[in-house]
Structure 1
Amino acid sequence: MTGSIRWPWYVLAAWLVAGCAAPAVRAPESVALKTRTFSAAYSSFNAQVLSDAGALDTSFRASLTRPEEMATRLESAYTYRFADSHEQLRVGDSVSSSGMWGSAVRYGGMQYGTRTTTRSDVITTPDLATGGLAVLPTVADALLMTGDPGSSLSQNNPSVTRAWRTGDLIARDALGRSMAIDAPLIASTRLAEPGCSDVSVGAGRVRRDYAITSNQYGPTFANTTVTCGLPLGFTVEGHGEYLADSVTAVGIGVARRLGSLGVASLAYASSQADIGTGWFAKLGFERQGDLFSIALRSRLQSREFRSVGALNTDDPIMQRDLASVGVNVIDGARLSVAYATQVTWSRERMNFIALQQSLNMGRGSLSMSAGHSLADNFGSSVFLSYKRPFGFGVRAAPSLIDEFIPLFPATSSDDGIE
């Protein structure tokens, strides 16, 4: 009895001793809180605690009209930046690196390296909900999903539409919410500096039902991308991804600048899954100039090829071709054409073509864009818009390839920001 009375005092004494030995707590150097409303009923919030060495951040989504609904956690992570180095360590929720050919997914775990962002054509907007495994589609993926609304990919992952009122590119998620995005149809090829300092290594568990439930995690996931700059101007990249009990895929990419002609790239990968062993090949070329710019991508793959981003598909892609051409007609006036075509192993074909012309008028710009599906006259669209920024800031220089992604009017009114 006496011992049971004394043990709380022992605990209190130990706590006091530990408190005397602990260093003094200092106030954080910076605390930031951001919010962005993307519908009339919901907002997403992001809180950050920043220091010279790293940052602790978390984000969540909450209902503005239904207090009884619990907030949904989106991402939580601590990022530590090593001194005198471009390397960093992130513990918590991350987005995997996709390299030249791979998949990008949301996962919880560890990520280490110098490559902190994925390809620019991947839709990484953190507020979009994803059903099932949290796979992040590219703009081309989301665009071609729009033509097949009954597919499982279209139902679970973000698809792309164009807002009638503004002409902005809109990604609509698995819950029907929408948000404006800014991503190209074709990502530029990254050329590495001499050496092998461009690396990303990640491991953990893939997120499930991201932005729908707070803490659902799926199977074990691992991902590695190493990019090296070699003699004679070659860039060589090795990329691999693994999902437990599902798929293992490894591949290599090579890119080189061909003088003033542009940048050529080639990627090849092999996968091992329950369906068997498959292969994947990708060719690319791009050139950017003051008057004329072009970007081309062509993708071929076997029926058995699988990646983490395309596991449960009954009709895999056989070939996909993307093209974007831009011409600066006169100073401040640009004309661009974008084209996308895809054929699956069931011989289902989708083709999109689009045209955009833009003209700078003072501090604003007037643009006209038109798109049309060449498959069964699925749909057409024409947009005319004028945009002018308020205030007196400096207007950013436009891209040499001002792509217009061909899209079709949404079946319901847009409920997100535009």
Structure 2
Amino acid sequence: MNVARLKKPLLVLLLGCAVHVAFAAIASKTAQEESPRETLLLTTINAVVDDQVSLMLRSADGRLWIAAAELRRWRVQVPDAADTTVDGVDYYALSHWPRAKFSIDEATQQLDLTLPSDAFETAVFTKSAPNLNQATPPSLGAFLTYDALTERTVSIARQAGTVEVGTFGAWGVASVRYLVESGRDKPAALRLDSSWIRDFPDKMTSFRLGDGITRAPSGWGGATRYSGISYGTNFGTRPGFALLPDQLVSGAATAPSTVDVYVNNALVTRQLVPPGPYSIARVPLVAGANVLQVRVRDVLGREQVYERSLFSSAQLLRQGLDDYAIELGKVRNNFAVVSNDYGVGFLAANWRHGINDTLTAETHLELAEKRTAVAGVGANFTLGQLGLMNFAVAGSTKVGASGYSVAAGWSRPGARLSTAISTQWSSRDFWQLATSDLGPGSRFSIDSVVAMNLGQIGSVTVGYSRLIAPDPRTPTLGLVSLTWSTLVRRKVYVGLSARRLIGVIPSTDIGLIFSTAVDHQTSGSSFLQRNDDGTGGRTAAGFDYQKSLPLGTGWGYRLRANAANDVQVGSSYQNDIGTVALELARQSNGAAARIGVQGSVVLLGGQLFASRRANDAFALVRVPGFAGVRVYNGNQWVGTTDSRGNAIVPRLMAYQPNALSIDDRDLPLDVEVAHLQRTAVPVYRSGVIVDFDVRRIASAQLRIVDARGAVIEPGAHVRLAGVDRDFLVTDDGRLFLSGLMQRNTLRVDHENGVCRVNFDFSPTADPLPDLGTLVCEEVTP
């Protein structure tokens, strides 16, 4: 074999294998260097510092993959499919969000990442509903409310008044009201109404037995007085409950931001939102025009403001809400004329339902004696920015005659321009309870109004109404009106009005009025008016100046005069037990004098009290043993405690929190008050007892020194045996103590250790006697 000839090819083969192995090693090393490596980074995402270390993959060329767990923790929407999986962990490349920006500080291993707002999940917020205040169970009690007037003129002497007697308790409130008059052949007492009412706040319903007013359908029907029973919703038992459809506010924030939502310039909610989309539900609106403003302010102070106009109506209910009433009884005739005059018996029902936030449906039914009935259906709905619409149709039958009625309306409230029109057409034989004792109602009616806000120039309102009676021989009635008003320098109101009445006796009225408020109680006004009814024009002018009564004790007065030399002068005084008013008048037909008194007598807590008129809920405030203490309702002085420490506070808001407080400046120094303010949530026309825990305490001042005669340093803590609080030593060893007993022990913790003081105490007339200097004996450990 020729070895020399084989050596060269073998050498080439070995060289080729070596090169191949070398290239394979280089390729393997390069692949290892280019594959992403797991890394832990501190992250700031859209200006929010993440307090946890984030797991990621990082390639040599700077690309990033983020673990699914991190994305979820950051509220980032996770894509459907992972880009890679390492050790069972799914990672997603930042390329999924093309607008993403990031930078890495290699020294601190800090990642600063910014994602677009649509990369995040929507943060959902709900405006917190108002607290549903649990009403305070009423105490058993009774009341008598009176309003009496005596009048004397050159020709007559007359006395009149109303008296209402009622009782209340956990079972509800029952009352009867009378009108009493004299000056005729003999005194007469006329029953106005009587009823028993029981509210059920947890169900937002009420039951009534006795006199009441029927629930009228919206758009086409009327209400009438009756006597009987009724049961239905009463949203007044839960103030703050959202009846109207609410609004959803949504947007997007690129950084942590504060979102303030305003409705008609009133802040209704404030939310701290994270980066990304957000939505705030249950933003309440008010009936009429609403200007919704959203202010978004991020952590850097940048602010964006969004504003839009919305409409709502009291005839709309939010989705799923029901409003209903069922009534059974007899129509009340000649109210305030005859005590017991009842007409046709009936059964009535009304039901409204919020189908959605833009549509509310309604149905109404009335069944009466002698096969008389009426039924109708209606709807109220929004047309977006075009406004609000209502439509109703009803049919009736009475003594074999059928009738029908159609009603429709449209309104568009606005900050600058508001318009509304409503119309109803009824056949001659159309019947309903509200007109059962009045004969046939109108055949056609229309009411329209246009109101314009002209800014500093003022506002203008134009109205037109027309009424056509069923009898063609009855003239058509019409009214055209024009009013303009403005506020000059925010103090003087100026109003100009013109009115044209079309009918049996056409007439035209033109008036001009000026009024101003001197303060929150005092105001003045003057007017000039011209009337022309075709028989000769008449001009009138006059002025009025008055000061209203305060909520508590105080005076009021009124002066009125006109160009016809008619003058009225009146004054009134109000205190804790009632109101008295005196008025003198001089008119063309002679002089007159009137004296009126108003007030109540309340039985509550086993005691009788005289009070101002208690027309609504009221409270008995008790500060036992302390007379002359001023009582406040919502920071308004409304009464003063009597010699027993009691005060009646009328005019409370039923089912709402009423902040009642006492003035500690009217209390002696040697008392301890647990609470200066209490909250009362009374029920309708009932009384509650509100107690303030005020106790006399024995107090004194003294000076403490140690066994060497050195004063104890300021700030040392002192504990009085039997009292669960610490006292502090002040300058020169002075110490003020309260809650003293006949024998007392003090434990003093000072900078040099612990010492003890024992001393006796006897109360004196001085509310803060000085016990002199006492020595604190050291306590050995």
Question: What TM-score do you get using the length of structure 1 for normalisation?
Answer: 0.64
Which residue, 495, 503, 520 being the options, matches 1:367?
Answer: 495
In 2, the alpha carbon distance for the partners of 1:37 and 1:262 equals 49
Is the contact made by 1:115 and 1:200 (CA closer than 8 Å) also made in structure 2? no
Residue identity matched to 1:111:
S
Please show how residues 254-403 of structure 1 align to structure 2 within 5 Å: 254-274=379-399, 276-311=401-436, 316-331=441-456, 333-347=458-472, 348-361=475-488, 362-363=490-491, 365-375=493-503, 378-388=506-516, 392=520
What displacement does 1:358 show?
A: 1.9
1:158-189 alpha-carbon deviations (Å, 9 max, x no partner)? xxxxxxxxxxxxxxxxxxxxxxxxxxxxxx65
Q: Look up the SS of the partner of 1:309 in the other structure.
A: helix
What displacement does 1:274 show?
A: 1.7
Which residue, 197, 210, 217 being the options, matches 2:335?
Answer: 210
What displacement does 1:280 show?
A: 0.7
1:270-294 alpha-carbon deviations (Å, 9 max, x no partner)? 0011251111100101111111111
Q: Look up the SS of the partner of 1:201 in the other structure.
A: strand
**Residue of structure 2 in register with 1:191 after alignment:** 316
**Residue of structure 2 in register with 1:183 after alignment:** none
In 1, the alpha carbon distance for the partners of 2:150 and 2:361 equals 40
Matched, 1:235 2:353: no
Q: Look up the SS of the partner of 1:194 in the other structure.
A: coil
Q: Of Structure 1 and Structure 2, which has the larger fraction of its residues in strand? A: 2
Percentage identity across aligned positions?
21
Is the contact made by 1:223 and 1:240 (CA closer than 8 Å) also made in structure 2? yes
1:237-296 alpha-carbon deviations (Å, 9 max, x no partner)? 001122322731000011111112211010000001125111110010111111111111
User: Aligned residue pairs: how many?
Assistant: 308
**Residue of structure 2 in register with 1:245 after alignment:** 370
Distance 1:392 1:115, change over 3 A: same
What displacement does 1:304 show?
A: 2.2
Distance 1:313 1:91, change over 3 A: closer
What displacement does 1:27 show?
A: 6.1
Distance 1:359 1:311, change over 3 A: same
In 1, the alpha carbon distance for the partners of 2:357 and 2:149 equals 49
Matched, 1:220 2:326: no
What displacement does 1:44 show?
A: 3.1
**Residue of structure 1 in register with 2:605 after alignment:** none
Which residue, 208, 213, 223 being the options, matches 1:90?
Answer: 208
Residue identity matched to 2:326:
V
Which stretch has the larger CA shift, 380-389 or 307-316? 307-316
What displacement does 1:206 show?
A: 1.0
Question: What TM-score do you get using the length of structure 2 for normalisation?
Answer: 0.36
1:36-70 alpha-carbon deviations (Å, 9 max, x no partner)? 86987533344454556632233221125459322
Is the contact made by 2:441 and 2:469 (CA closer than 8 Å) also made in structure 1? yes
Distance 1:70 1:377, change over 3 A: closer
Residue identity matched to 2:419:
I
In 2, the alpha carbon distance for the partners of 1:203 and 1:260 equals 41
In 1, the alpha carbon distance for the partners of 2:425 and 2:142 equals 49
Is the contact made by 2:444 and 2:469 (CA closer than 8 Å) also made in structure 1? yes
Residue segments in structure 1 that go unaligned for 5+ positions in a row: 1-25, 118-187, 396-405
What displacement does 1:341 show?
A: 0.9
Residue identity matched to 1:114:
T
In 1, the alpha carbon distance for the partners of 2:319 and 2:471 equals 44
In 2, the alpha carbon distance for the partners of 1:264 and 1:244 equals 34
**Residue of structure 2 in register with 1:134 after alignment:** none
Residue identity matched to 1:247:
T
What displacement does 1:360 show?
A: 2.8
**Residue of structure 2 in register with 1:72 after alignment:** 190
Q: Look up the SS of the partner of 1:61 in the other structure.
A: strand
**Residue of structure 2 in register with 1:109 after alignment:** 228
In 2, the alpha carbon distance for the partners of 1:299 and 1:198 equals 24
Is the contact made by 2:317 and 2:357 (CA closer than 8 Å) also made in structure 1? no
In 1, the alpha carbon distance for the partners of 2:351 and 2:175 equals 27
Distance 1:36 1:105, change over 3 A: farther
**Residue of structure 2 in register with 1:63 after alignment:** 181
What displacement does 1:338 show?
A: 1.6
1:14-53 alpha-carbon deviations (Å, 9 max, x no partner)? xxxxxxxxxxxx9635736253869875333444545566
Residue segments in structure 2 that go unaligned for 5+ positions in a row: 1-137, 152-157, 237-312, 524-530, 539-587, 595-781
Q: Look up the SS of the partner of 2:385 in the other structure.
A: coil
In 2, the alpha carbon distance for the partners of 1:352 and 1:341 equals 6
What displacement does 1:344 show?
A: 3.2
In 1, the alpha carbon distance for the partners of 2:166 and 2:437 equals 37
In 1, the alpha carbon distance for the partners of 2:389 and 2:395 equals 21
Q: Look up the SS of the partner of 2:224 in the other structure.
A: strand
Is the contact made by 2:144 and 2:163 (CA closer than 8 Å) also made in structure 1? no
Which residue, 16, 28, 31 being the options, matches 2:143?
Answer: 31
In 2, the alpha carbon distance for the partners of 1:297 and 1:99 equals 15
What displacement does 1:393 show?
A: 6.2
Distance 1:298 1:38, change over 3 A: farther
**Residue of structure 2 in register with 1:165 after alignment:** none
In 2, the alpha carbon distance for the partners of 1:254 and 1:224 equals 16
Distance 1:72 1:242, change over 3 A: same
In 1, the alpha carbon distance for the partners of 2:518 and 2:179 equals 29
Which stretch has the larger CA shift, 300-309 or 264-273? 300-309
**Residue of structure 2 in register with 1:99 after alignment:** 217
In 2, the alpha carbon distance for the partners of 1:36 and 1:332 equals 46
Residue identity matched to 2:225:
R
Distance 1:346 1:63, change over 3 A: closer
What displacement does 1:199 show?
A: 0.5
Residue identity matched to 1:87:
T
**Residue of structure 2 in register with 1:154 after alignment:** none
